Amino acid sequence: MVEVFDRAGRLCVGIDPHESLLAAWALPISAAGARDFGLRVVEATAGVAGIVKPQVAFFERFGSAGFLALEEVLAAARASGLVVIGDVKRGEIGSSMAGYAAAWLAEGSPLEVDALTLNPYLGVEDLHETFATAVRAGKGAFVLAATSNPAGTRVQSARSDDGRTLARNVLDDVAAWNATTNDVLGPIGVVIGATVDLRAAGLGDVPAPLPVLAPGFGHQGARTGEARQIYGNLFEGVIVSESRSLLLAGPDGIADAIVERAAEVRGAL
Ligand SMILES: O=C(O)c1cc(=O)[nH]c(=O)n1[C@@H]1O[C@H](COP(=O)(O)O)[C@@H](O)[C@H]1O
CATH number at residue 167: 3.20.20.70
Cα of 83 from ligand 1 centre, angstroms: 17
Contact by Cβ (8 Å): 206, 171:
yes
The secondary structure of 73-85, three-state, reads HHHHHHHCCCEEE
Asked casually if ipTM beats, i.e. exceeds, 0.95, the reply is yes
Please name the helix (run of DSSP H) or strand (run of DSSP E) that holds residue 142, with its range, or none: strand 140-146
Q: How many domains does the chain have?
A: 1
Helix, strand, coil in percent for the chain, rounding step 5: 50, 15, 35
Burial of 29 (0-12, 13-18, 19+ CB in 10 A): middle
Residue 29 Cα to ligand 1 midpoint, Å, equals: 21
At residue 6, the pLDDT reads 79
Which residues form the catalytic set? 89
In SS3 terms, 192-255 reads as ECCCCCCCCCCCCCCCCCCCEEECCEHHHCECHHHHHHHHHHHHHHEEEEECHHHHCCHHHHHH
pTM above 0.90, yes or no: yes
Rounded CA gap, 127 and 64, in Å? 26
pLDDT of 187:
96
> Which of 53, 55, 117, 231 to mutate to test ligand 1, by most ligand atoms within 8 A of the CB atom?
55
d(CA 242, CA 221): 11
Its domain, for residue 260, covers 2-268
Cβ of 242 less than 6 Å from ligand 1: yes
Please, are residues 86 and 119 in contact by the beta-carbon 8 Å criterion?
Answer: no
Length of the chain, in residues: 269
From 20, 61, 148, give the residue whose CB has the most ligand 1 atoms within 8 Å, as the site to mutate: 148
Return the amino acid letter for 219.
Answer: H
Low-confidence residues in the chain, pLDDT < 70: 1
How much distance in Å is there from the Cα of 161 to the middle of ligand 1? 30
